Amino acid sequence: MKSKLSMTSFRGKLIAASIVCILIPTLVTLVVYNYLTRDAVKDQAVSNAQQTLQLVDGHVTNTLKHMLYLMNYFQVEQSGIGQTFKQFISGDWGTANPAYEEYKARADIMTKIESVTAAGEPSYLTILLSNGTYFMNYRKDDDFDPVLLITKPWITKVQGFQGLDSYWVGVTPTEFRRDKATSPYQLTAVRQLDSRSRTGVIVVTIMERQIGNYFREVSAVQGQEVMLLDGNDQIISHADINQIGTSFPYLKQLNKQEDNIVQIDGKNYLISKRVLAVNGWKLVSLIPYSTAVSKINSIFENVFTFQLISFILFFILLMVAIRAFTKPLLKLDKVATSVQKGELHLRSSIRGQDEIGRLGKSFDQMLDRISDMIIEVTRTQARKRKAELDMLQAQINPHFLFNVLNSIRMKVLGKGDRESAEMIASLSKLLRMTIQDQGNIPLHDEVDTVIDYMKLMNMRQKDKVDLEIDIDNDVFLEQVPRFFLQPIIENALIHGLNQQAGTIQLNAHAEADHIRICIRDSGQGMDQATLERLRSKLAMHTDEMLLAEPEKKKGFSSIGLQNVNERMRMTFGDAFLMQVDSEIGAGTAVTLIIPKQMQEQEEVHEDV
């Protein structure tokens, strides 16, 4: 399956091209659609955030206005209370019983404080006069000592304020004991009771949780983060109390951009702000950009899922169609590959009226013609080889026989010893081997022929050549063609030793599934160029040998190594190997690798 769908196959290329032609327009459409709708969704998200801030603004403003109302109540709405505060400072009550008047005035002020703070947002109200006298709506021992307000650094800042100007302290750690556990921070506003006489100050404090809890509700419902900042961009109130008191520098970044997007901790957020009219504090809304565009992302995912399902269905249909259209081509390719490996009997059997059908028919007809031509060429070559081998097998040099017989004659005439009789016996054996019918013989018969041949050659020439034989016992019965060792020995005598004294070694050993025969002489050897030419001739195919011009040599050397190589290859096929090694002055070695035949014959007999 992998090979059929690889990019190098026709089917793979066709499928890839179809997929690309469909995917590219689809992806471009999805990207453009997502890009165009994303801005619209972002603008809508910003608009929704502004609307949410407007609602939050109403709640926060009401809370802060209630703090202003408490301060206004004792500074403006209650006429005559300012005179009472001055009497507390001076101690002049204008009666004979000042203690009673002071008690009565204090009770009246505390009643007003309790009544005005009972309604609206929970708050802590403290009136601190310049002489240290104070009034509050909480218990001193359990909650907070109002005298400590004198030590606060912001007390001095409010002294320069006029009329209804208030100083918004911002967020500070909660100092009221009963609220510390539920609200770690508090918000405080302070104003002078009378900026001209500096009678004292009125301080109103609320818990940060009164705003922070509302922010948490908005975050849970709207999915956006809301916070309250002071004029220095410090966080005054936040749904996460850990953020309170930290700086929020991203408003400056927002002022430099126009797309309402800021990056915080590597993530993009849509940011909106709204300035409170009460005191200039700022409400800021943060929405994760991914959340803002979640709807369009959901639509995009649905569209993408639909496109993906459509593509899968199309891909399945495409695979079925392409498989049907290209199946004949794959079959034709498979047949062509098998034919390339030598299986010429296969045919594609592809027929049809289209181009593929005509191609299959032409391919089968071509294979038919090739098979007929191969049969004809094989028959012709077989006839040529048989005729040539018959001719080579019958070639026995008359000049060689004449010389041998002449040598015997001279020996007989000169002496009447047993050496002449042995020479005649060896010649008889040699002649008998040459005139016998063709066929394979045991290796020991071929070795006997070589021994007889060496006896004759040693009697013929002046210098004697020693033949050393080392043959394993288990290879003597191996079947080999006749006269395949004698031409190699003759080459060693005539060309290697140059008919001089020396040694020829004949070794035969059995290995795994073949026999290794080595004929080595101690002659003059060959240079590298001559050795390469000889190896090239041995590597030639039969057809090349037939076309090559035959070399003319004398004696048995006319049969030569090429003839032996060709005969052995015809007998044993590619399993036979001949290797020639030689060096100048170091002699020549001819190695023959012959597959075992005796074992095969035994297996055949066992099967029979």
- According to the per-residue pLDDT averaged within each range, which of 128-132, 157-161, 387-391 is highest? 128-132
Average pLDDT of the residues in 562-577 = 85
Fill in the amino acid letter for 593.
Answer: I
Secondary structure element (H or E) that encloses residue 173, with its range: strand 167-173
Q: Please write the tens of the pLDDT for every residue from 277-294.
A: 888 899 998 888 777 666
The distance from CA 560 to its chain's CA centroid, rounded to whole angstroms, is: 61
Nearest-angstrom CA–CA distance, 10 and 22: 19
How does pLDDT run across 300-310, given as a tens digit for each residue? 677 778 878 88
Angle, nearest 10°, between helix axes 10-72 and 209-222?
Answer: 150
Q: What confidence score (pLDDT) does residue 394 get?
A: 52
Closest CA relative to residue 224, chosen from 63, 40, 47, 35: 47
Q: Bigger pLDDT: 494 or 80?
A: 494
CA distance 264 to 587: 89
Q: Which of 430, 434, 352 is nearest to 395 (CA)?
A: 434
Q: What letter represents residue 468's amino acid? A: E
240 and 257 in contact (C-beta within 8 Å)?
A: no
Contact 273, 285 (CB under 8 A): yes
Q: Identify whether the C-beta of residue 322 lies closer than 8 Å to the C-beta of residue 14.
A: yes
CA distance 198 to 131: 11
Band (pLDDT 50/70/90 cuts) for residue 428 is low
DSSP string, 254-284: HHT-SS-EEEETTEEEEEEEEE-TTTS-EEE
Output 106 or 21, whichever has higher pLDDT: 106
For 131, the token pair is 């002489």
Q: What is the mean pLDDT of the segment spanning 30-59?
A: 76
For the record, the structure tokens of 203 come out as: 């301080």
* pLDDT 10s digits, 224-254: 889 999 988 899 999 888 899 899 888 877 6
Contacts of residue 455, Cβ cutoff 8 Å, sequence gap at least 6: 422, 423, 426
pLDDT, position 254:
67
Position 396 scores a pLDDT of 47
Please write the tens of the pLDDT for every residue from 84-112: 888 888 888 777 788 888 888 889 888 88
Is pTM beyond 0.75 here?
no
Lowest mean pLDDT among 55-59, 186-190, 508-512, 565-569: 565-569
Q: 374, 373, 346: which is closest to 360 by C-alpha?
A: 346
Question: Among 54-63, 170-179, 304-313, whose mean pLDDT is lowest?
Answer: 304-313
Question: Whole-number mean pLDDT of the chain?
Answer: 79
